[in-house]
Chain A
Amino acid sequence: MSVALLDRRLLLVTGKGGTGKTSVTAALALLAAQRGTRVLACEVDAKGNLSDFYESPRLSFRPREVQPGLFAMSMSTEEALQEYLRLQLHLPAIARIGPLARAFDFVATAAPGVREILTVGKLAYEARERNYGLVVADASASGHVIGQLVAPKAIDELVRVGPIHDQTGWMLDVLGDPAITGLVIVTTPEEMPVNETIELIGRVRAETDVELAAIVVNRVLPELFSHADEQVFERLREPEVAEAVAAGVGDEGGYGAGLSAVFEAARLAVTLRRTRAGHLDRLREALPAEVPMLFVPYLFTRGHGLRTTGQTAEALSAELGY
């Protein structure tokens, strides 16, 4: 039996760009906080817009309480490095500034995994220290997340001695422990996001020790009709019946533009839903049986803010059986 999603201590949320990765991150963190956990939500990409989903001021490396019990921060590898040097290596301040920062920047540009390990290291550190009951990270998009997940391993192989090498061991332990860490992939029921998700599932299993905790399928359109409903719908669209519907509605023009547009919109909703169902079937087939798929409905709302984050959290709560 795998660990319940919100009982883990570190959730890394990824997915193809445009699927709503940040919105799901925000909602998972909010849900956990509402259930009484002290939560840290962290956006890994400094240009992210996590703060929009909480309608909070801009986030920084220093966590800010955006909702009761919910803290949010924005990753900065530079600040993570400084914190690391101070806490882990007890380096004097003189070594942390100027040339070292520049040199680091240079090495990090070239050497694989250096930036990534600071990001993952900071997240794993927060999870290990239990400053928070749960850390939820809006990690990199699916194209780049593998690089983050394998960073400790890559560093472990490249840097063979010294304190950095020694640091990778516990990070690997944290990431590889399914009781602690879980990966969440966000997708929408569309062709490309589903393809990318299936591909990512394969790579996560082949290249990392991180457990896939859940797939969140975002923006799922509602099922409008049952089979019987649909037959009735077809009947209603027949011209003479539609004429009667228009009269019943009080549309003086008869079965004119108004009602036919309304019918057309329903037909569009049905077709969209059906096309997408095929992609979800494909995803289910590719997914190990024990990995849950959580569905978040398409939110027919005007904008995205705290209110929609709450609605998403509610949907996830229902899916998780709370």
Chain B
Amino acid sequence: MREAASFEQLLAAKEIVICCGAGGVGKTTVAAAAATMASVSLGGTVLVLTIDPARRLADALGLEALGNNETQVPPDVLRRAGIEPRGQLWAAMLDTKQSWDDLVRAHAPDARTAERILENPLYQNVSGRFVQSHEYIAMERLYEIHRSGRYDLIVVDTPPTRNAIDFLAAPDRMAEFFSSRLLRWITGPGRSRVVNLATRPFYQVADRLLGSQFLEDIAEFFLSFQTMYPGFIERATAVKRLLHDRRTTFVVVTTLENAPVREAEFFVSALADQKFHMGALVLNKVLPAYLLDADAARVAERLVAAAPAVAAAVPDAGDPATVERVLREVGVSFSNFEVVAKREAELRAELAQAAEVIVSVPSFETDIFDVGGLLRIGRAVWGS
């Protein structure tokens, strides 16, 4: 298969685009911008599945109070931003708790078992945190939506994890957890298995530590949960297959700061190791190129070094002391930002080999919170 030469081709060729990267790099915004741009310029029905969008962005997309449901962004919202969309833009937010509840209902053998699980106090705590539950449920939802066949393209934002690779391993871990010998051992035949094991040294220690009531609660919970085993395993395997499918690609988003770049590099190599398709690298919030301009740097230095002389050259600009201070401030500020821009340039050079497609999104001066803003980002991604 020919590799995509641009971000646009990548989005045109794939059905699922998964945006990942360190926390705070702007994954959500990049995902929303890519989906918006795809619906506008490629057409078709495009969905952006976001995890935790900024409230103003959610409002702008008409996502308020919609939770798990997929909703179309009204075409008027796009028209007001001066765009006549060719396709449809849809959006959905991931509600972890709700998704887990749905999953339990879908896989429990009967309604009574489902209710028993949903009401178990352990489940209530666990569904929020269970084995990387955010990561797993995001991929699970993606699978479900993709299977519905309603969308030509799905762009997914991933949950903030310290270790961005976690969600790739989530389906495996989930399957592993359910196949665990210990789980079968604890929940083996007979409800009071745990108590019957009371003579075992392990149980004696565990009992001393936790009390038999707690152990029984756990056993009870797992007994119910166990009934979902076959469905779960099958599903986790299918989710994993989808992530490896050639219709799926990964977009790594990073800012040009040390820690996120290190994480992006790690992610890129992990994707390669596990044979996932690495589609593009998005460098977000990049400082303007003029900060690297050598003439400008020289001017800035002169402004600082010779502020009084320069101020004297513009006698009618205002109070001389103020003019001098402003000129110096302007020079210092440039040099400050130049340091950061140089650091960014170095990191960018380090990343040059990381992907076939590398695009930059400039650092916008104001927050991105409407469709117009998303389109500005989208055009930057498309154009570079």
Task: Please report A residues at the B interface, Cβ cutoff 8 Å.
Answer: 16-19, 45, 47-49, 89, 91, 95, 99-100, 102-103, 106-107, 109-113, 141, 143, 147, 154, 158-165, 190-193, 195, 222, 224-225, 228-229, 231-233, 235-236, 241, 244-251, 253, 256-259, 261-266, 268-269, 271-272, 275, 300-304
Which one of A47, A113, A268 has the greatest number of beta carbons of chain B within 10 Å? A268
How distant is the Cα of A235 from the Cα of B306 in the complex, in angstroms?
19
Q: Are B309 and A164 in contact (CB-based, < 8 A)?
A: no
Among the 9-residue stretches B67-75, B80-88, B140-148, B323-331, the one with 4 or more Cβ atoms under 8 Å from chain A is: B323-331
Q: Are A266 and B333 in contact (CB-based, < 8 A)?
A: yes
Contact residues in A for B312 (Cβ distance below 8 Å): 248
Q: A17-B22, A19-B24 are in contact. Are A244 and B323 (CB under 8 A)?
A: no
In the complex, how many angstroms separate the beta carbon of A216 from the nearest chain B beta carbon? 15
Contact residues in B for A247 (Cβ distance below 8 Å): 313
Q: Residue of B at shortest CB range from A253?
A: B295
Among the 9-residue stretches B7-15, B213-221, B273-281, the one with 4 or more Cβ atoms under 8 Å from chain A is: B213-221
Q: Are B333 and A49 in contact (CB-based, < 8 A)?
A: no
Contact residues in A for B314 (Cβ distance below 8 Å): 236, 241, 244-245, 248
B112 touches A (CB below 8 Å): no
B55 touches A (CB below 8 Å): yes
Q: A241-B314, A258-B295 are in contact. Are A249 and B302 (CB under 8 A)?
A: yes
Q: Residue of A at shortest CB range from B292?
A: A261
Q: A163-B208, A241-B317, A258-B296 are in contact. Are A225 and B129 (CB under 8 A)?
A: no
Q: Are A165 and B367 in contact (CB-based, < 8 A)?
A: no
Q: Are B23 and A18 in contact (CB-based, < 8 A)?
A: yes
- Contact partner of A269 (CB less than 8 A), chosen from B128, B180, B201, B333, is B333
Q: Are B160 and A236 in contact (CB-based, < 8 A)?
A: no
Contact residues in A for B340 (Cβ distance below 8 Å): 300
In the complex, how many angstroms separate the beta carbon of A164 from the nearest chain B beta carbon? 5
Contact residues in A for B365 (Cβ distance below 8 Å): 268, 271-272, 275
8 Å CB interface, B227-263 against A: 255, 258-260
Q: Are B302 and A265 in contact (CB-based, < 8 A)?
A: no
In the complex, how many angstroms separate the beta carbon of B209 from the nearest chain A beta carbon? 5
- Contact partner of B330 (CB less than 8 A), chosen from A49, A244, A262, is A262
8 Å CB interface, B361-377 against A: 365-367, 369
Q: List 4 additional A-B contacts (Cβ < 8 Å) besides A47-B163, A95-B205, A304-B258.
A: A158-B121, A229-B329, A232-B319, A262-B334
Q: Residue of B at shortest CB range from A99?
A: B202
Q: Are B54 and A268 in contact (CB-based, < 8 A)?
A: no
B300 touches A (CB below 8 Å): yes
Q: Are B299 and A160 in contact (CB-based, < 8 A)?
A: no
Contact residues in B for A301 (Cβ distance below 8 Å): 339
- Contact partner of A262 (CB less than 8 A), chosen from B54, B122, B180, B296, is B296
Q: Are B343 and A100 in contact (CB-based, < 8 A)?
A: no
Q: Chain B, 18-41, contact with A by CB distance < 8 Å: what is the 0/1 string?
A: 000011110000000000000000
Q: Are A154 and B125 in contact (CB-based, < 8 A)?
A: yes
Q: Are A251 and B125 in contact (CB-based, < 8 A)?
A: no
Q: A192-B54, A244-B313, A251-B299 are in contact. Are A225 and B339 (CB under 8 A)?
A: no
Which one of B208, B288, B365 has the greatest number of beta carbons of chain A within 10 Å? B365
Q: Are A259 and B299 in contact (CB-based, < 8 A)?
A: yes
How distant is the Cα of A271 from the Cα of B367 in the complex, in angstroms?
11
Q: Residue of A at shortest CB range from B218?
A: A111
Contact residues in A for B367 (Cβ distance below 8 Å): 190-191, 275
How distant is the Cα of A300 from the Cα of B177 in the complex, in angstroms?
46
Can you list 17 A-B pairs, Cβ within 8 angstroms, ordered by A?
A: A17-B160, A18-B260, A103-B202, A107-B206, A110-B126, A141-B23, A141-B160, A191-B369, A235-B317, A235-B318, A236-B326, A248-B306, A257-B293, A257-B295, A263-B330, A266-B330, A302-B339
Q: Are B339 and A300 in contact (CB-based, < 8 A)?
A: yes
Q: Residue of B at shortest CB range from A102?
A: B182
8 Å CB interface, B286-318 against A: 288, 290-291, 293, 295-296, 298-300, 302-303, 306, 309-314, 316-318
Q: Are B303 and A262 in contact (CB-based, < 8 A)?
A: yes
Q: Are A268 and B213 in contact (CB-based, < 8 A)?
A: no
Q: A232-B323, A258-B293 are in contact. Are A95 and B211 (CB under 8 A)?
A: no
In the complex, how many angstroms separate the beta carbon of B229 from the nearest chain A beta carbon? 14
In the complex, how many angstroms separate the beta carbon of A254 from the nearest chain B beta carbon? 12
Q: Residue of B at shortest CB range from A94?
A: B201
Contact residues in A for B339 (Cβ distance below 8 Å): 300-302
Q: A229-B322, A259-B299 are in contact. Are A265 and B334 (CB under 8 A)?
A: yes
How distant is the Cα of A107 from the Cα of B375 in the complex, in angstroms?
47
Q: Are A191 and B56 in contact (CB-based, < 8 A)?
A: yes
Contact residues in A for B322 (Cβ distance below 8 Å): 228-229, 232
Q: Residue of B at shortest CB range from A48?
A: B162
- Contact partner of B210 (CB less than 8 A), chosen from A162, A266, A269, is A162
B66 touches A (CB below 8 Å): no
Q: A147-B129, A154-B125, A302-B343 are in contact. Are A100 and B24 (CB under 8 A)?
A: no
Contact residues in A for B323 (Cβ distance below 8 Å): 232, 236
B136 touches A (CB below 8 Å): no
How distant is the Cα of A105 from the Cα of B326 in the complex, in angstroms?
61
How distant is the Cα of A304 from the Cα of B205 in the complex, in angstroms?
46
Which one of A16, A109, A253 has the greatest number of beta carbons of chain B within 10 Å? A109
Q: A143-B160, A162-B211, A249-B299 are in contact. Are A261 and B290 (CB under 8 A)?
A: yes
- Contact partner of A141 (CB less than 8 A), chosen from B128, B162, B207, B295, is B162
Q: Are A229 and B327 in contact (CB-based, < 8 A)?
A: no
Q: Are A232 and B317 in contact (CB-based, < 8 A)?
A: yes
